Amino acid sequence: MVRELSHFVDGELRAGTSGEFSDVFNPSTGEIAARVPLASHSEVAAAISTAEEAQHEWGALNPQRRARVLMRFLRLIERDIDELAEMLSREHGKTLADSKGDVQRGVEVIEFALGAPHLLKGEYSTNAGSDGIDVYSMRQPLGVVAGITPFNFPAMIPLWKMGPALAAGNAFILKPSERDPSVPLHLAQLLTEAGLPDGVLQVLNGDKRAVDAILTDKRVQAVGFVGSTPIARYIYETAAANGKRAQCFGGAKNHMIVMPDADLDQAADALVGAGYGSAGERCMAISVAVPVGKATADALAAKLTERVKQLRVGDTHDERADYGPLITRDAVDRVTHYIEAGVEEGASLLVDGRGLTVEGFEEGFYLGPSLFDYVTTDMSVYRDEVFGPVLFIARAATYEEALRLPSEHDYGNGVSIFTRDGDTARDFAARVNVGMVGVNVPIPVPIAYHTFGGWKESGFGDLNQHGPDSFRFYTKTKTVTSRWPSGIKEGASFVIPTMQ
């Protein structure tokens, strides 16, 4: 008998009623860990109704009181951190340390959202226009908003979405990945324990039907999404066609430029961590290493080969493991096909991770680390997001060529450069056509109080995630222009008529 998960609606776990389910695996063992109900259109609609109702009081609360609920929520996450990490690792497969990091990066956005009272301030101008006219603005909550989040960060991305949305006074509909729904469900329970009124956060599990139910419901004012680019495009377009605001973050192909003056050991260490960590299933993973000049490339390839061969793949409880299984068997197959394609397209396979078996976990979704050299821009393995434990070396003869690679790639999420030279770093940061830049930092995820957002095919919409932008996305501006006719202060005696 497989365990059956539920939705979280109106302050409580609630069984699905559609009769449809999806299997949730334990990627470390390959076993089915649970099954999750898929919400029907009417379940989504009902949850939105409750949310709409609940939002009125929540949105009218002064923002410091809302922030205090989040402050209590932080304490409860701290209390349950081990349980959350275990739950996350079991369904996702990442190492326990990585799972704690997943929760922690989400926590930081909740910490940022504690500043809601300040971040929600409008502007006030007196004597604007002409004498006696005041103009001021308020940022009001949108009402019911939604987040559709991916499997690879089942704690972080839901927290990034719900933190600012709730702090700003909205009700929030979360449709987490059906691959690893337990952590979002637990977070919802913690929020209720922290004092969030029932109905303000609704977690609905589901597939495309649930997504479409959200996208076409007129009462949902905004949708935030993180996932692959085709789905990001679909959601951006469909949300817009339904008059909503949307911010949709998609795939990536993050490059790391290694200049001849870089410390190559440092660069190689960074590449291995950023390329294979979490089995490469991160939108900010480094996928392409770009050494500049032949000498740099040869040395870097050698150092990488040595390091990659020593990587240890293990189940989530293996404390010495560098990374764990992929999310599904399909994912293993997809990445394997890309490795084959890389070989066929003529890239040089320095390390081959195919066919790995982890002892005692023979049915787990494991894949060893692969490393390619001499990858070129015409290859599918260069153009596509592989999303697995594969690192590609694309050699550049000069800095300008290296700069062009990420700038001209369809994706524009993150990019990094390793150099000691101030000029090179500055020129690169200013000119590269990518949204998030690292200088001697392999994974340039901005801290919570700055904002996260890729460019080109990696991001759609005009406001980023977390940081001040997130409060702009989840609120609407109301502007008031005010003037008063002369009244009681002149000493006039007037009688106010009654209304019929």
Looking at residues 293 to 332 of the shown chain, list those that interact with its own copies (rule: CB under 8 A). 293-296
- In the structure encoding, which two tokens stand for residue 330, read together? 């399909």
Does position 226 interact with its own copies (CB under 8 A)? The reply is no
Does position 438 interact with its own copies (CB under 8 A)? The reply is yes
Burial label for 412, CB within 10 Å (0-12, 13-18, 19+), is buried
Distance of closest approach, residue 158 Cβ to its own copies, in angstroms = 21
Distance of closest approach, residue 456 Cβ to its own copies, in angstroms = 9
Among 45, 74, 194, 341, binds its own copies (CB under 8 A): 74
- In the structure encoding, which two tokens stand for residue 49, read together? 């109704």
**Paired strand residues for 136:** 124, 480
The nearer residue to its own copies, 48 or 258, going by C-beta atoms, is: 258
Backbone angles phi, psi at 104, to 5 degrees: -65, -40
What is the Cα–Cα distance from 427 to 410, expressed in whole angstroms?
21
The nearer residue to its own copies, 98 or 469, going by C-beta atoms, is: 469
Does position 263 interact with its own copies (CB under 8 A)? The reply is yes
Does position 67 interact with its own copies (CB under 8 A)? The reply is yes
Does position 56 interact with its own copies (CB under 8 A)? The reply is no
Distance of closest approach, residue 163 Cβ to its own copies, in angstroms = 14
- In the structure encoding, which two tokens stand for residue 264, read together? 């190559």
Q: What is the DSSP letter of 396?
A: B
Burial label for 210, CB within 10 Å (0-12, 13-18, 19+), is buried
Applying CB under 8 A, the span of 192-200, 306-314, 333-341, 478-486 interacting with its own copies comes to: 478-486
What is the Cα–Cα distance from 256 to 403, expressed in whole angstroms?
10
Q: What is the DSSP letter of 224?
A: E
Among 41, 49, 52, 115, binds its own copies (CB under 8 A): 115
Among 319, 359, 378, 489, binds its own copies (CB under 8 A): 489
Give the three-class secondary structure for 265.
helix
SS3 letters for 362-395? CCCCCCCCEEEECCCCCCHHHHCCCCCCEEEECC
Does position 366 interact with its own copies (CB under 8 A)? The reply is no
Distance of closest approach, residue 45 Cβ to its own copies, in angstroms = 20
Give the helix ranges, DSSP H, for 168-287: 182-193, 208-216, 229-241, 264-276
Does position 225 interact with its own copies (CB under 8 A)? The reply is no
- 118 Cβ contact partners less than 8 Å away, ≥ 6 residues apart: none
Does position 472 interact with its own copies (CB under 8 A)? The reply is yes
Residues 151-180 binding its own copies (CB under 8 A) are none
The alpha carbon dihedral of 440, 226, 371, 433 has a sign of negative
Does position 364 interact with its own copies (CB under 8 A)? The reply is no
- In the structure encoding, which two tokens stand for residue 191, read together? 């929020």
Distance of closest approach, residue 321 Cβ to its own copies, in angstroms = 24
Does position 19 interact with its own copies (CB under 8 A)? The reply is no
The nearer residue to its own copies, 30 or 115, going by C-beta atoms, is: 115
Mask 451-470, x = binds its own copies (CB under 8 A)?
A: xxx-x-x--xxxxx---xx-
Does position 336 interact with its own copies (CB under 8 A)? The reply is no
The nearer residue to its own copies, 46 or 441, going by C-beta atoms, is: 441
Does position 348 interact with its own copies (CB under 8 A)? The reply is no
Q: What is the rounded radius of gyration, in angstroms, for the C-alpha atoms of the chain?
A: 25
What is the Cα–Cα distance from 156 to 152, expressed in whole angstroms?
9
Residues 393-412 binding its own copies (CB under 8 A) are 397-400
Residues 126-145 binding its own copies (CB under 8 A) are 126-138, 140
Q: Which of 280, 278, 271, 279 is nearest to 303 (CA)?
A: 271
Among 148, 364, 446, 470, binds its own copies (CB under 8 A): 446
Among 319, 359, 378, 423, binds its own copies (CB under 8 A): 423
Q: Which of 211, 203, 207, 210 is nearest to 182 (CA)?
A: 203
Indicate the helix (H) or strand (E) that contains 13: strand 12-14
Among 241, 306, 330, 383, binds its own copies (CB under 8 A): 241
The nearer residue to its own copies, 46 or 135, going by C-beta atoms, is: 135
- In the structure encoding, which two tokens stand for residue 117, read together? 């009272």
Does position 220 interact with its own copies (CB under 8 A)? The reply is no
For the annotated catalytic residues, the residue numbers are: 283
